[in-house]
Amino acid sequence: MANLSYKTKAFVLGSLPRGEANRVFILLTPDLGLIYAHGQGVRLEKSKLRFSLEDFSLVEVILVHGKTGWRITNASSLLSVSVYVEKKTLKIIARATSLVRKLVVGEDTNYQLYTIWDETMKILIEKNHTETELSRIEIVWVLKILFSLGYIDGEKLQNIISSPIEMIGESSEVDDLRSEAISQINRAIESSQLFF
């Protein structure tokens, strides 16, 4: 029986080398959640997939699930984030990516996490933000990630967590609740016991 293929958008949250020519890609998808997908021969110069699966990019992939897990059969780049954002913004994306990769163990379906990621990436590439705006966006992004994964209850910060991310950069409400937000973030990370 042939394996069915599955076409989806995905954010590339990184990759790991496998053998001489292969890589395992960490993909955040809307319906499958966070998955690990094998890319055969992607490190070869002749590979069609080589430039489509850049870190932090938004891609459209065709996946097949077999005995060894997910395999990427085709991919096309929809948005190469590194082309549109400044270095300071890439650092924020890298930190959020690292957080998700550490907190989401195994494959996990979480549409809310994908939506948060998608909305935040759109805001980050929309324009060059000031340091203050980026700081606000990062705090709220991390709060929303932790809330979607069940690490914080968000009661005291409900207004921020439920606000659309595009409202955050220019809102001083985050500044008023900054110490509470950072305190909750730190407690959540400590409780995960994954960073020690």
Residue 193, amino acid: Q
Among 85-99, 104-118, 129-143, 172-186, the least confident range: 172-186
Between 2.102.10.10, 3.40.50.720, 2.40.50.140, 3.40.50.300, what CATH number should domain 5-81 receive? Answer: 2.40.50.140
The mean pLDDT value for 61-66 works out to 93
Provide the pLDDT confidence category of residue 84 given band limits of 50, 70 and 90. confident
Whether residue 168 is predicted with pLDDT greater than 80 in this model: the reply is no
pLDDT on residue 35: 94
24 touches 107 (CB < 8 A): no
Residue 46 neighbours by CB distance under 10 Å? 6
Does residue 1 surpass a pLDDT of 50? no
64-91 in b/e form (b: 16+ CB < 10 A) is beeeeebbbbebeeebbbeeebeeebbe
User: In this model, does residue 187 exceed pLDDT 50?
Assistant: yes
Pairing relation of β-strands 33-39 and 69-79? parallel
pTM of the model: 0.88
Strand locations in the chain (E): 5-18, 22-29, 33-39, 58-66, 69-79
> Any residues with CB less than 8 A from the CB of 165 and at least 6 apart, and which?
116, 119, 120, 123, 137, 140, 141, 144
pLDDT in tens, 6-17: 999 999 999 988
Quick one: tokens of 48?
């069609």
Q: Judge whether residue 194 has pLDDT over 70.
A: no
Residue pair 163/171 in contact by the 8 Å Cβ criterion = yes
In this prediction, residues 27-42 reach a mean pLDDT of 90
Determine the Cα–Cα distance for residues 71 and 2; give it in Å rounded to an integer: 14
DSSP structural state of residue 193: T
Residue type at position 38: H
Q: In the predicted model, is pLDDT for residue 153 greater than 70? A: yes
Domain residue ranges of the chain, discontinuous segments joined by +: 5-81, 85-192
**pLDDT tens for residues 96-111?**
999 999 888 777 788 9
d(CA 129, CA 151): 28
pLDDT at 14: 92
